[in-house]
């Protein structure tokens, strides 16, 4: 939970094109929480801050009565700054098409932009479900939670990015539908191109869960001008966090909403998820 609290805020800032520099942190602790557990959380946060190159500069702690919380709640918020890499990225986008935004936003997608997914989906949600509900899926599914700001900085220096998002709550399906709605374009993705671990896919089939609706904490989807997509994909695949990256689709004016070209040859609508199939910890 400590790593998740830091990485989640760092990634939210980074996908806008900013460089995160400082965080605040508030703890709500249940009376009786083991000091050793609290120290593990603090150590995890410290290690993740060092990895991301950010600092926790202020915070607060509250204690509530036993039985009212179930452990602890960690609240983080962050601040970032504009970078030369963002300016370089926007200048590159303008070489290929009109672009009038000062930031990387969900509303920036246009027809012809390619969609890149940085890695396998569903890992985090299934790891949480396994831990909370005691399921055993015959393999060790681990959360993908990681700060992505340094990777994103490298991608911005290549340029051509118009939109970025970390597909957390609601997974890939929710993130793509938000893009489609805010950018007022359709999105067509290819089911065969979406990377999913075999054990995650099997677990989702067993539980009746769509892996495209499961939250992720260490992945990004990227909207990029067509001419820069292959270069960005190549750079992603060289990084530990992006070794399974794929170009999964593109924006289109042929229809509204999000559709998926299925493996069997047809197309189906990829609707926003109703509710969250996984017990939340973020």
Residues 83-94 pLDDT 10s = 999 999 999 999
Q: Which of 233, 167, 234 is nearest to 11 (CA)?
A: 167
Q: What angle do CA 100, 106, 107 make, to 5 degrees?
A: 45
Do residues 199 and 86 touch, judged by C-beta distance below 8 A?
no
Residues 103-144 pLDDT 10s = 999 999 999 999 999 999 999 988 888 777 777 665 678 889
Give me Rg for the CA atoms of the chain.
19
Q: What is the greatest pairwise CA distance in the chain?
A: 59
Measured CA to CA, the distance from residue 98 to residue 82 in angstroms comes to: 21
Band of pLDDT at residue 4, cut at 50, 70 and 90? very high
Measured CA to CA, the distance from residue 45 to residue 168 in angstroms comes to: 19
Measured CA to CA, the distance from residue 47 to residue 198 in angstroms comes to: 30
């Amino acid at each position: 939970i400590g790593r998740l609290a830091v990485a989640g805020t760092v990634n939210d800032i980074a996908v806008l094109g900013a460089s995160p520099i400082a965080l605040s942190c508030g703890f709500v602790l249940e009376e009786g929480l083991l000091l050793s557990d609290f120290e593990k959380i603090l150590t995890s946060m410290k290690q993740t801050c060092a990895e991301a190159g950010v600092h926790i500069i202020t915070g607060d702690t509250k204690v509530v009565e036993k039985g009212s919380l179930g452990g602890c709640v960690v609240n983080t918020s962050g601040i970032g700054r504009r970078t030369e890499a963002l300016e370089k990225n926007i200048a590159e986008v303008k070489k290929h098409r009109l672009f009038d935004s000062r930031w990387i936003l969900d509303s920036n997608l246009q027809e012809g932009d390619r969609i890149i997914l940085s890695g396998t989906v569903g890992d985090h949600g299934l790891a949480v479900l396994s831990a909370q509900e005691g399921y055993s899926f015959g393999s060790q599914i681990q959360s993908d939670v990681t700060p992505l700001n340094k990777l994103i900085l490298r991608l911005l220096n290549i340029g051509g990015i118009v939109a970025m998002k970390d597909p957390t709550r609601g997974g890939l399906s929710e993130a793509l539908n938000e893009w489609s709605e805010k950018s007022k374009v359709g999105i067509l993705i290819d089911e065969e191109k979406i990377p999913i671990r075999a054990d995650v896919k099997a677990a989702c089939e067993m539980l009746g869960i769509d892996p495209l609706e499961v939250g992720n904490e260490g992945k990004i989807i990227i909207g990029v001008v067509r001419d820069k997509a292959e270069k960005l994909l190549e750079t992603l695949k060289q990084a530990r966090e992006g070794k399974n990256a794929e170009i999964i689709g593109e924006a289109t004016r042929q229809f509204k909403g999000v559709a998926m070209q299925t493996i069997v040859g047809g197309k189906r609508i990829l609707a926003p998820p109703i509710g969250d199939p996984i017990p939340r910890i973020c």
